């Protein structure tokens, strides 16, 4: 009885830890994707901001 209980407990622990690690990995990859997205957004936005500032200096 106790052997069966301990093996079931071990199985539950392993499955819970696998679920936890898969969720953690998904969050980690989402975080990396978000960082990459922000980097690409910065690459798109920064030159326009620079051009806007330069134009404003020349016009103003």
Q: Which residues form the domain of 29? A: 1-59
- Max CA pair span of the chain: 85
How far apart, in whole angstroms, are the C-alpha atoms of residue 60 and residue 53? 10
More confident residue, 52 or 1: 52
pLDDT per residue over 6-40, tens digit each? Answer: 888 888 989 988 888 888 888 888 888 888 877 77
pLDDT at position 24, please? 82
Provide the number of structural domains found in the chain: 1
> Which structure tokens are listed for 25?
């990995």
Whether residue 55 has pLDDT greater than 80: yes
């Amino acid at each position: 009885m106790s052997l069966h209980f301990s093996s079931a407990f071990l199985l539950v622990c392993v499955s819970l830890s696998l679920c936890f690690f898969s969720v953690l990995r998904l969050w980690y990859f989402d975080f990396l994707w978000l960082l990459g997205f922000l980097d690409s957004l910065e690459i798109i936005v920064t030159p326009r901001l620079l051009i806007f500032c330069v134009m404003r200096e020349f016009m103003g």
